[in-house]
Structure 1
Amino acid sequence: MHRHRCHGDTRHFSGPEGSGGRGGGGRGGPFGRHRGGPFGGRGKRMFDAGALRLVVLGLIAEQPRHGYDIIKALEARFQGAYSPSPGAIYPMLQMLEEADLVSSQMQGAKKLFAITEEGRAYLEENRVDLDRINAQIDEASEEIQGVSLGAEFRALRKTLFRQVRSGGFSAEQAQQALEILKKARGDIEALQD
């Protein structure tokens, strides 16, 4: 069994998404399974952690990228409706680097990540999973094409924070805003029925 070497010791990653190890039933190498892709993960998260790592590695394989570039590339693929947090991306990039799947070099104050030969081999081993996940992303983004859900959500959040920070709400207005948000959430949840 082949395992990634990092700083002289053998690292074997495992986590909630599955056990490590290459090949065989694990299908996820050092990062576990890529169960369900971006939409079939557990709970309310958009991405299964293993699927997100695979997509991020695929983006770096296309061209070297900074962490911010990866966040923006994913946001663009989802028509602005999804944007991973820096708290999800930057630790993942460090993990990919520790597993020798990517390397980095400083560019000013930022790290530029590039895929390694081992990273390319890992992508090829998991090509079927990556293609399936990318197809799911493409299908979802086609369905929402032309609808700027993400942009509208960010505008709403900005408006709400601006009003709260400036003291623009009276207690009564704050209660009205809360009721509006609750109703909107309920209406959006009802769309799934």
Structure 2
Amino acid sequence: MREHSPWNGPWGPRRPHHHPEGHHPEGHHPEGLSPYGPPHEHPHERGRRGGHGGPGRRGPGGRGRAQRGDVRAAALLLLAEEPMHGYQLMQAMAERTGGAWRPSPGAVYPTLAQLEDEGLVTVRSEGGRKLVTLTDAGREQAAGLEDPFVALSDDADRPDLRRILEDVHHAARQISSRGSAAQLEAAAKALAEARRALYLLLADGDG
């Protein structure tokens, strides 16, 4: 560990870590603090972001579990385009996936720290934040990576059935708790018809 690392901050130097790739403790810095820039995670985004992994693969009706290492690959590929701050990287990852993948600060910042430890990036202070730049070794590694955004971009227009089902469930609960007898009967009929329509789609065997 470099003794004069720019990551030494008011909360003390970073301690050596030996966590598997993609499994870094989110308590690495005091809550709300990051050497890469201000964290910008809205509570309502927590259910949509990719957490410690990345876009991963979609399963039937929704997105699959994130794949470990995607944050690392995404960071290297984006930094190969230009130096960025940590928050800029998070914004770029979200933009590349149309907002479908929003890695948390607890996933991005420890990944950048690990890349620095490995000599793949250098870091310098700029306006109170840390600008991350690829080294020659980092560019060499980035050149051999597959684009982690491709899988999600290819089916970005695919309907998210899980989200639709959640909306339907919410509407059904509202009718169940507030609806009249006639509304309850109509809702039950609509749901039964929807179920039959879905089975008919399977029976058609098209698509």
The residue aligned with 2:112 is: 93
Letter paired with 2:118 = A
Find the counterpart in structure 2 of residue 123 from structure 1: 142
Q: Given the alignment of the two structures, is residue 135 of structure 1 paired with residue 150 of structure 2, yes or no?
A: yes
Greater relative CO, 1 or 2 (CA 8 Å, sep 6+): 2
Query: For residue 77 of structure 1, what is the amino acid of its counterpart?
Result: R
Q: Is contact 2:90–2:103 with CA below 8 Å preserved after alignment?
A: yes
Quote the offset at 1:100 in angstroms.
0.7
* Structure 2: distance between partners of 1:37 and 1:88: 10
Q: 2:88 aligned with 1:61, yes or no?
A: no
SS in 1 for 2:93: helix
- The ranges of structure 1 where at least 4 consecutive aligned residues each deviate by more than 6 angstroms after the TM superposition are none
Q: 2 CA distance for matches of 1:105 and 1:40? A: 35
Q: Which runs of 5+ in 2 are unaligned?
A: 4-15, 23-52, 164-169, 175-190, 203-207
Contact 2:75 2:89 survives alignment (8 Å):
yes
Q: Distance in 2 between matches of 1:45 and 1:97?
A: 30
Query: What is the number of equivalent residue pairs in this alignment?
Result: 123
Where do residues 66-85 of structure 1 align in structure 2 (5 Å cutoff)? 66-85=85-104
C-alpha RMSD of the superposition: 3.9
Report which of the two structures shows the higher radius of gyration computed on alpha carbons. Answer: 2
Equivalent in 31, 36, 39 of residue 56 of structure 2: 39
Change (3 A) 1:113 1:46: farther
User: What is the Cα deviation at residue 79 of structure 1?
Assistant: 1.3
Higher helix proportion, which one?
1
Partner Cα distance (2:107, 2:21) in 1 = 15
**Superposed CA offset, 1:78-113 (max 9, x none):** 212221111111111111111111111111211010
CA positional deviation for 1:40: 4.1
**8 Å Cα contact 2:55/2:101 also seen in 1:** no
Residues 142 and 40 from structure 1, CA distance in 2 versus in 1: closer, same or farther, beyond 3 angstroms?
A: closer
Partner SS state of residue 141, structure 1 = coil
- Aligned-pair CA distance for 1:77: 1.4
Structure 1 residue 137 displacement after superposition: 2.9
